Chain A
Amino acid sequence: GQNIDQPTEMTATEGAIVQINCTYQTSGFNGLFWYQQHAGEAPTFLSYNVLDGLEEKGRFSSFLSRSKGYSYLLLKELQMKDSASYLCAVLDSNYQLIWGAGTKLIIKP
């Protein structure tokens, strides 16, 4: 079967760095997405990786290793507003999105 694993919850301190991991086992691979979802709000797109390596976008970076079935989202200089759930999703060979259950990130002052 297809599976996406990510930690259920993480806690970090304002101003610090946090890495949210995502491992996947899917039927084929056409890219990996990260979405951010604040409580009571819509998920919003953060990043898309299809090639190996690190892609940086301001304070957020996303890394992909296709051979390891692994990705991470790196958040730097954490701010209180970064408290949210972070959803990992893989586009499989049929262009179907397979979703993880999300990681709830709690930022403490």
Chain B
Amino acid sequence: ETGVTQTPRHLVMGMTNKKSLKCEQHLGHNAMYWYKQSAKKPLELMFVYNFKEQTENNSVPSRFSPECPNSSHLFLHLHTLQPEDSALYLCASSQVAGDIGELFFGEGSRLTVL
């Protein structure tokens, strides 16, 4: 496999459920990111991990909990979400965070909160 892979591609959950999104990159990169993409809005950076260390948390509600066990894997744990959290969640990777390198994105996990 190559590139950035996200699972599941689609997820429907109730507000009391707990679920996780998974991201895996096979590019040998050291930085991984979670973005939220809502219709007609700019990409919102949620979390950044650089060499497995979290370097950015953009005031994201605690109902979103990231986990980065190694440089190739990134998780986003979800619990007690709200309907307004429905969006496309994109994972991305780059060589190193904070440089000019391009981002490589996964195809996203489409989340619907009922």
Q: Show the binding face of A for B, using Cβ within 8 Å.
A: 4, 8, 30-31, 33, 35, 40-45, 48, 50, 87, 89, 91, 94-102
Contact = CB atoms under 8 A, between A and B. Distances in A.
Interface of B: 4, 40-43, 45, 90, 98-100, 102-108
Contacts of B107: 40-42
Nearest to B56: A96
B4 A99 contact: no
Contacts of B99: 95
A89 B34 CA distance: 16
A42 B4 contact: yes
A42 B42 contact: no
A101 B40 contact: yes
Contact of A43 (B40, B41, B90): B90
A94 B105 CA distance: 21
Nearest to B97: A95
B26 to A, nearest CB: 14
B105 A42 contact: yes
Contacts of B104: 45
Contacts of A4: 42
Nearest to A8: B40
Given A87-B43, A101-B41, A42 B106 contact: yes
Contacts of B40: 8, 101-102
Contact of A100 (B42, B106, B108): B42
